[in-house]
Amino acid sequence: MRKKNVVLEKIPVSGYAAEGKALARHDGKVIFIEGGVVPGDVVDIRLSKNKKDWAEGRAIHIHTYSDKRAEPFCEHFGTCGGCKWQMLPYSLQLEYKQQQVADHLQRIGKLALPAMDPIKGSRHTIHYRNKLEFTFSNRAYLTAEEIKDNEGVVLERNALGFHVPKLFDKVLDINTCYLQEEPVNLIKNTVREYALAHGLSFYDIRAQEGWLRNMVVRICTTGEIMVNLVIHHENKKNREALLQHLLKTVPAITTLVYTINPKKNDTIFDLEPKVYYGKGYVEEKLEDFVFKIGPKSFFQTNTYQGEVLYQVTREFAGLTGTEIVYDLYCGTGSIGIFVSPQAKKIVGIELIREAIDDAKENAARNNVQNAHFFAGDVIDICDDAFFEQHGQPDVVITDPPRAGMHEKLVSKLLQIAAPKIVYVSCNPATQARDLALLDALYTVEKVQPVDMFPHTHHIENVVLLKKKLLAVSH
C-alpha cells in the first residue's frame, strides 16, 4: 500500500540527481529530495510521491549538517530562486555537474565515453550575469518571521525583485543581488526608492493594474549599461521624471529605454521599446568580435564563460579554412561569427526572425562576409534542396534549446552524414537522448562541460562527434 504523508527519518543524503535535487537510498529505493540539502546531511523527508523503485519528497528537518557545507553569501538565500547552490563550495558544485554529465551520457545515452575533460569552472562565481530582469509587484513575499516579528504593523507590500519559485504572484524584494556587478543594485534600489517616495504604483498581477511592471538591466564587459523600464501605460510626466532621476543618480548608464506593455503577459517581443537616452542598444565583446545587443536580442548571459564555450566549440570543430560549417539554432549568429575566420562558409539557421536580423547585422559589423543566415524552423529549412543549394556540411554545430533536437532533425543529420558534429547543449539529459540516436553513425570523441551558471544546478556541455568508419559491405 502507498500510504500518504509518509515521513522517512534520519536519512543520510548521498549525492545529487538531475535538476539540482539531492539523492538518498533507502530500502532499495532511490529518494529524490528537494529543500536545499547537501550530501552528508542527515534529514527527515516528507514524501510527495512513493513508487515501487523510487520516491520523491522534501526535507523537513536536518539532524546533522554535512561538513561539506559552505556558508551562503547572500541575505536572500533560501527564499530567492536565484543561486540555490550557495551552500555548496564551488569546487563541489563543479564536481557534481561533471558527474551529472557523465551519468546522463552513460545512463540515458548508453554511450561509451572517452575520458572526459574536467569541467571548465567560471572565472567569476559572482557578478557573472550580463542580464537580469527585475519585477515590480504590490505583493511582496514576506517570510513567516517577518509577519510574526511585525504583528500589528502594516508592512511595505511593494517590491522590486524576483518572482518567488512556485508562487506566481509573489515577488521577493531584493536588496543586494550578487549576479551582476555594480551599479546594478544602485540602479534597482534608486528606482524602487523613487517610486515609493513618489507614490508610483507597482504592478498588481492579479488585478492586472499598476504602472511599473519590469526592469531589465544589461551590463557588458565593455562597460556599457542598458536599462529597459517596462510600464503598463504611458504617463509622460511621471516617466520622464523617473528616468531623469535615474540618469542623474547613475550616470554610468549608457542607454535608457522604456517599453509600454498594456498586455496581460510579460513578454516584450511583440512590443516596441523606445529610446529615452543614448543609442538604444549596448555592445558586448567576445574575443575581438563585437555584438550589438538591443532590448529584445538574445545573448549568452555569462559573457566570460560564453567566450570559453565558443572557444571549446571552435577547438572541437577543428577548422582549417576550407570547411562549410552549419550553425543550427544559431540565435543571433554568435557561434558562427566567432568561428567564421577559420571556415570557408557559415550557414546559420534560427527560428526567430529578429535574431536572424541581428545575426546579419553582427556579421556586417565584424566584417564577416562568409556567413549566411536563414530564419525558420530547422526541420523545415534543412531539406535536401537546402543542402544542395548551400553545400554539404563538413561540420555541423548544433545548439538547441532545453528540449534538445527534434527527432526529424536527428534523422536528417544521420542522412546528411557530415564528418563532424559539435553538439552544444544546456540540458545534458536531452543531449544524451539525441546522442543515443546519433550513435548509429557517430562516435563521441570529446566531452567538455562548461560552467556558465555558478551556484545553480544548470549545466552546459559540448560534445564532439565523429563519423564512424563503417565497413563497406560487398
Residues at the annotated binding site for S-adenosyl-L-methionine?
300, 329, 350, 399
Q: What are phi and psi of 294, to 5 degrees?
A: -90, 175
Residue 57 φ/ψ, nearest 5 degrees: -170, -175
- Taking CB under 6 A as the rule, does residue 307 contact ligand SAH? no
Binding to ligand SAH (CB under 6 A): which residues in 96-135? none
C-alpha Rg value of the chain to the nearest Å: 24
Q: Mark 141-180 with x for binding to ligand SAH (rule: CB under 6 A) and - for no binding.
A: ----------------------------------------
Contact at 8 Å (CB) between 362 and 376? Answer: no
Residue 421 corresponds to which cell in the numbers above? 558534429
Coil, strand or helix: which one is 256?
Answer: strand
Binding part of the chain for ligand SAH, among 152-160, 278-286, 344-352, 453-461 by CB under 6 A, reads 344-352
Among 162, 203, 329, 453, binds ligand SAH (CB under 6 A): 329
Nearer to ligand SAH, 276 or 329 (CB): 329
Options 102, 116, 290, 352; binder of ligand SAH; rule CB under 6 A: 352
* C-beta of 105 vs 462, nearer to ligand SAH: 462
Q: Pick the closer one to ligand SAH by CB: 17 or 335.
A: 335
Ramachandran category for residue 5: left, alpha or beta (phi over 0 → left; psi -120 to 50 → alpha): left
Using CB under 6 A as the binding rule, whether residue 85 contacts ligand SAH is answered as no
Out of 164, 195, 335, 343, the only residue in the binding site for ligand SAH (CB under 6 A) is 335
- Specify whether 80 is catalytic: no
For cell 560564453, the residue is 306
User: Rounded to the nearest 5 degrees, what angle is found at the Cα of 397, between the Cα atoms of 394 and 399?
Assistant: 165
Secondary structure of the chain: what % helix, strand, coil (to 5)? 25, 30, 45
Phi and psi angles of residue 402, each rounded to the nearest 5 degrees, phi first: -55, -30
Helix (H, G, I), strand (E, B), or coil: what is residue 42? strand
Choosing from 194, 298, 374, 386, the residue that interacts with ligand SAH (CB under 6 A) is 298
Please choose, out of 47-55, 148-156, 185-193, 348-356, the segment that lies near ligand SAH by the rule CB under 6 A.
Answer: 348-356
Binding segment for ligand SAH among 106-114, 180-188, 272-280, 351-359 (CB under 6 A)? 351-359
420-425/442-450 β-pairing: unpaired
Grid cell digits, residue 289: 568580435
Place of cell 529605454: 257
Among 330, 339, 421, 463, binds ligand SAH (CB under 6 A): 330
Beta strands in 220-370 (DSSP E): 225-231, 255-260, 274-277, 282-286, 289-293, 324-328, 345-350
The residues, any chain, with a CB within 8 Å of residue 67's CB and separated by 6 or more, are: 40
Stretch that binds ligand SAH, among 144-152, 176-184, 327-335, 384-392 (CB under 6 A): 327-335
Q: Which residues, numbered 208-267, are part of the site for ligand SAH (CB under 6 A)? A: none
Residue from 173, 350, 451, 460 in contact with ligand SAH (CB under 6 A)? 350
The residue among 405, 338, 352, 349 whose CA lies nearest residue 372 is: 349
d(CA 329, CA 231): 32
At its nearest, how many Å lie between ligand SAH and the CB of residue 377?
Answer: 4
Please say which residue, 118 or 401, places its beta carbon nearer to ligand SAH: 401
Encoded one letter per residue, x for contact with ligand SAH by CB under 6 A and - for no contact, window 391-430 reads --------x-x-----------------------------
Q: Which residues bind ligand SAH (CB under 6 A)?
A: 298, 300, 329-331, 334-335, 349-352, 355, 377-378, 399, 401
| Catalytic (active-site) positions | 426
